[in-house]
Structure 1
Amino acid sequence: MTRSSVPAGAPVKHRLATDHRTRYLRFVPGNPDPQRPPLVCVHGISRDAEGHLEAFIDWAERTGTELLAPLFDRRRYRGYQRLRSSNRTLHPVAALDAMLDETVGDRPCLLYGFSGGAQFAHRYALVRPERVAGVALAAAGWYTFPTVAASFPYGLSPGRLPASLAIDFPAFLQLPKCVLVGDRDVERDPALRSNRVLDREQGDNRLARATAWVAALERAASKAGQASACRLVVVPEAGHDWQECYAQGRMHEHVARFFDDVCNAGQPCKPVADATSVAAP
Structure 2
Amino acid sequence: MPDLLSPTDGPTADASFGAMRAEAIYDLGHSTIFASRSDPRFSYCTYAPPQTGNEQHPKALVVVVHGTGRAFTEYRDAFAEFAKWNDCIVLCPLFPAGPQGDGNRDGFKFLQEGAIRYDQILLDMVDEVAKKFGADFSRFALFGYSGGGQFVNRFGLLHPDRLWALSIGAPGSVTLLDFNQDWWVGVRDFASQFGQPLNLDALQALPVHMVVGKADIETWEITHRPDGKFFMPGANDAGRTRPERLETLRQSFEAAGVQVHLDLVDNVPHNGLACVDKVQDFFAATLRRLRAARR
| TM-score bracket for this pair, using the shorter chain length | 0.7 to 0.9
> What is the aligned partner in structure 2 of residue 29 from structure 1?
49
Q: Which runs of 5+ in 1 are unaligned?
A: 222-227, 268-281
> What is the aligned partner in structure 2 of residue 257 from structure 1?
281
**Of 156, 180, 184, the match for 1:153:** 184
Distance apart, 1:19 and its partner CA: 1.5
- Of the structure 1 ranges 42-51 and 150-159, higher mean CA displacement relative to structure 2 is found in 150-159
Alpha-carbon RMSD:
2.5
Distance apart, 1:37 and its partner CA: 2.1
Aligned residues: percent identity?
A: 22
Alpha-carbon distance between aligned partners in 1 of 2:151 and 2:128, rounded to the nearest angstrom: 20
Aligned length: 250
**Of 246, 256, 275, the match for 1:220:** 256
Letter of the 1:187 counterpart? E
Alpha-carbon distance between aligned partners in 1 of 2:277 and 2:34, rounded to the nearest angstrom: 27
Residues 37 and 107, structure 1, Cα contact 8 Å, conserved in 2: no
Q: TM-score, normalised on structure 2?
A: 0.77
Q: Which runs of 5+ in 2 are unaligned?
A: 1-18, 101-105, 131-135, 226-230
Residues 49 and 70, structure 1, Cα contact 8 Å, conserved in 2: yes
> What is the aligned partner in structure 2 of residue 169 from structure 1?
200
Alpha-carbon distance between aligned partners in 2 of 1:169 and 1:83, rounded to the nearest angstrom: 19
Q: TM-score, normalised on structure 1?
A: 0.81
> What is the aligned partner in structure 1 of residue 10 from structure 2?
none
> What is the aligned partner in structure 2 of residue 271 from structure 1?
none
Superposition map of 1:16-165 within 5 A: 16-32=36-52, 33=55, 35-76=58-99, 78-86=106-114, 88=115, 90-104=116-130, 105-158=136-189, 162-164=193-195
Letter of the 2:81 counterpart? D
> What is the aligned partner in structure 1 of residue 241 from structure 2?
205
Letter of the 2:35 counterpart? R
Alpha-carbon distance between aligned partners in 2 of 1:261 and 1:100, rounded to the nearest angstrom: 23
The alpha-carbon distance between structure 1 residues 43 and 193, as it changes in their structure 2 partners (threshold 3 A), is farther
The alpha-carbon distance between structure 1 residues 239 and 262, as it changes in their structure 2 partners (threshold 3 A), is same
Letter of the 1:210 counterpart? L
Please tell me whether Structure 1 or Structure 2 has the larger radius of gyration of its CA atoms: 2
3-state SS of 2:166 partner: strand
Letter of the 1:81 counterpart? K
3-state SS of 2:174 partner: coil
Distance apart, 1:83 and its partner CA: 0.7
Query: Residues 55-109 of structure 1, C-alpha deviation per residue, up to 9 Å, x if partnerless?
Result: 11121122221000111111127411111124x4x41011011001111254311
Query: Residues 161-214 of structure 1, C-alpha deviation per residue, up to 9 Å, x if partnerless?
Result: 7545553233123210110010001121224446773333x1111011111211
The alpha-carbon distance between structure 1 residues 26 and 203, as it changes in their structure 2 partners (threshold 3 A), is same
Alpha-carbon distance between aligned partners in 1 of 2:61 and 2:243, rounded to the nearest angstrom: 28
> What is the aligned partner in structure 2 of residue 278 from structure 1?
none
3-state SS of 1:197 partner: coil
Distance apart, 1:21 and its partner CA: 2.0
Distance apart, 1:215 and its partner CA: 1.7
